[in-house]
Copies of this chain bind each other. A is one copy, B any other.
Amino acid sequence: MTDLHDLSTPALLVDVDVMQRNIDDMAAYADRAGLALRPHAKTHKTPAVADLQRAAGARGLTVATVSEAEVFADAGHTDLFVAYPLWLDDARARRVRTLLDRATLTLGIDSSEAARRLAAQLGADAARTRVVVEVDSGHHRSGAAPDDAGPVAEAAAHAGLEVTGVFTFPGHSYSPGAQGDVAAEEADALARAAESLRAHGLQPTLVSGGSTPTAARSRAGEMNELRPGVYVFGDAQQWELGTTSPDRIALTAWSTVVSHAGGRVVLDAGSKVLGADRPSWATGHGRMLDHPGARVVLLSEHHAVVDWDGGPLPGLGSRVRVVPNHACNAVNLVDELVAVRDGVVADRWAVAARGANT
């Protein structure tokens, strides 16, 4: 067993007991709510974590890219939903066709053009490819307008694809106090999208939604599948949104105090391990798990400058746990996660899908 103090810093730690509680609680919520749970694997990119989600009852995994799907299929996760408006170039089409031999794939589309392209590129494999129509529930990122879901689905079906339903990502839930209104908008968008499919003669069997901030407001009747990602670890964004609490945060950057310049604490964890995410409403570039008043007020690639907010500063050379603002981007910066239990290193997990962008 390796003592934490023998680890080189910065390193990303996962408290496995805290993570397991997050996994179990979300699985229990989905079960109570009558929703299938399909966690988004882009947060952890780690087969060892996906295995725990599956063991707790997850239906399958959500991924963002074909290359993430390849990694998780290789690790034995064979029910994969690429919740992304895919445009298939020749190389990506070949990879999807290869993947269909070892996984059940559900792919996102958000336009009739993309549906026709997908079918043309998949050729004879189109018939065994499930597609779902993405709709915009107010985040205004990608997705068709909810009332246009039917025509997109019709184009897909006409092109020979198996249309199974509709999905959305209510990303505008990442704003303080927004979760109630956003969950209502999400439900409305999904209902209109499903109705639009029916009006075009198609039956939506999959109605998929959810995000970590809105998960606790997701209801059967409004959707039948939930796709949260960040919940598995938690991060400073969720802490500040009030959708998690410090005792629920499993992911931290283990960091060394290298300087007390200017009477502040300078840590060796910068944007190259925490990520540079900093929404306008965040109170800083990251938080200290064990000192909630502190804030990262300046972040460089290898420096986090912390206003400690009272009490003696941690000494030079001491170690602290930094909570990244956004877990998904932090995890993508490291080759391995250090699994910790009771303050000692329990395991090391390869972040197998790190950098899997294509």
**A residues bordering B, Cβ < 8 Å?**
6, 8-11, 42, 64-65, 84-87, 89-92, 110-111, 113-114, 117, 136, 140-144, 171, 256-262, 266, 268, 271-273, 275-278, 298, 300-303, 305, 316-317, 326, 328-329, 332-335, 355, 357-358
Contacts and interface: CB of A to CB of B under 8 A. Distances in A.
B92 A140 contact: no
Contact of A273 (B10, B256, B266, B357): B357
B85 A266 contact: yes
11 contacts: A8-B89, A84-B302, A85-B259, A87-B256, A87-B316, A113-B316, A141-B305, A272-B328, A272-B332, A276-B278, A276-B329
Given A8-B92, A259-B114, A332 B333 contact: yes
Contacts of A90: 6
Contact of A261 (B142, B275, B332): B142
B273 A275 contact: no
A327 to B, nearest CB: 11
The A interface, classified by DSSP as helix, strand, loop or mixed, is loop
B114 A272 contact: no
A84 B259 CA distance: 10
Given A65-B302, A302-B64, A326-B276, A111 B260 contact: yes
Contacts of A142: 258-259, 261, 266, 303, 305
Contacts of A11: 358
Contact of A87 (B143, B257, B328): B257
A52 B342 CA distance: 49
A114 B261 contact: no
Contact of A110 (B144, B261, B357): B261
Given A258-B86, A358-B10, A298 B329 contact: no
A69 B132 CA distance: 48
A267 to B, nearest CB: 10
Stoichiometry (number of copies): 2
Contacts of A357: 10, 268, 272-273, 302, 333-334
Contacts of A317: 87, 89, 117
B136 A262 contact: yes
Nearest to A117: B317
Contacts of A10: 357-358
Give the 4 A-B residue pairs with the shortest CB-CB distance, closest first: A8-B358, A276-B276, A87-B258, A276-B277
A325 to B, nearest CB: 9
A67 to B, nearest CB: 8
A135 B191 CA distance: 60
A261 B303 contact: no
Contacts of A87: 256-259, 268, 316-317
B141 A258 contact: no
A85 B301 contact: no
A84 B275 CA distance: 19
Given A140-B305, A358-B9, A114 B316 contact: yes
Nearest to A87: B258
A8 B91 contact: yes
Contacts of A273: 357
A199 B300 CA distance: 32
A15 B119 CA distance: 35
A8 B356 CA distance: 11
